Structure 1
């Protein structure tokens, strides 16, 4: 389905900004490191502010650059990181399945996300640290019920064992691609009031955070 491109000078067809959010110490940075570099650092320190990494993939024979933003989970950084939701077309809501409180906070994180991001953003709920099964504090059924109620994708992952990490990111990125490529196709068959093609208007959203990107106008990924 999708594979990682090597180093290449090929044109990038799409850039998708995806944010990782959730409480501190749930493993957001480890998920990113595992996906972007296939690494896991046992001595990982808390993220300060915001960091991001990129990874370029092939989806439907298109070069898609995933720009994954890792936001700090600590309360004192939340005012800073709220600006980074802007332009995001995907989000990973991450909790630690061994810490019930981190799951209970998901509703609050989701509310904040929906308050700052485009209403059609693709969201996945992730229960991380599935390798610690004996310490489970959040039943899978609870998370599935929450995800269904809020219309989210859901997956349990282990950054340590690399379980479902790539699958989770690819699921979100592929869904974003389907939505946006459909929007672009529709735009390509339309013309605006001046008679020119609206294709460019449909594709502007792939450069998140720009001053006039459609993502900031609430028109990012409508189906």
Structure 2
């Protein structure tokens, strides 16, 4: 079955340096088709960029191990795509996620406009304490930019999200984006919108290392 919408499931295993036996956790990378999620994944896990990246069919995955503070993070990243009519099914994968990267293309304003809908769906199905970063991808297309940095940042501030702009093509901020969501150690915006969620990174790594109920 051919899929248009992409979901990336980052299954994280946090282990002290002398131990390799902690539970798995999940991060999700979500957003409209064509915003560059596959290449963000490829750049982070393999330091590669595919100029001929195509719509994902079925399920693919990549892994990478990262050292964060006293923890080793073993990430297994699942790339699952789905047509919009299957969103009710794929959204079930949000359950249990401890973090998410919500991606839009800075050169396509419609992909940015859809982020509020993606965020609403995420919050409907995910843990209430999920840490979310809004990611404006493809900064290498600066001359084609339709979403100003300040606009993206203001939306993130309003919703209590982390915010970063990236380029999978030239690697700008790709490492930083994944690592900040993994650790939760970002400067968090104070939110004026009482209906929004403030990301609290204080004990995020400890939460990641907590065992999963099975």
How many Å separate the matches in 2 of 1:183 and 1:18? 13
Counterparts of 1:79 and 1:152 in 2: how far apart (Å)?
24
Distance 1:73 1:142 in 2: 29
Q: Give 5+ residue unaligned stretches, structure 2.
A: 1-16, 186-200
Please point out which of 113, 116, 126 is paired with 1:107.
116
Query: Out of 38, 45, 50, which is 2:47 matched to?
Result: 38
Greater share of helix:
1
Asked if 2 retains the 8 angstrom alpha-carbon contact of 1:20 and 1:71, the reply is no
Q: Across the two proteins, how many residue pairs are aligned to each other?
A: 183
| Other-structure match for 1:81 | 90
Asked whether the 8 Å contact 2:22–2:211 carries over to 1, the reply is no
1:204 corresponds to 2:211: yes
- Give structure 1 stretches of 5+ with no counterpart: 1-7, 185-201, 206-211, 214-223
Partner of 2:203: 179
Q: Tell me how far 1:14 sits from its aligned partner.
A: 5.9
TM-score, L = length of structure 2: 0.77
**2:166 maps to 1:157:** yes
Deviation at 1:10, TM superposition (A): 5.9
Is the Cα contact below 8 Å between 1:93 and 1:123 reproduced in 2? yes
TM-score by length of 1: 0.74
Return the alpha-carbon distance in structure 1 between the equivalents of residues 173 and 129 of structure 2.
Answer: 24
> In the alignment, which residue of structure 1 is the partner of 2:34?
25
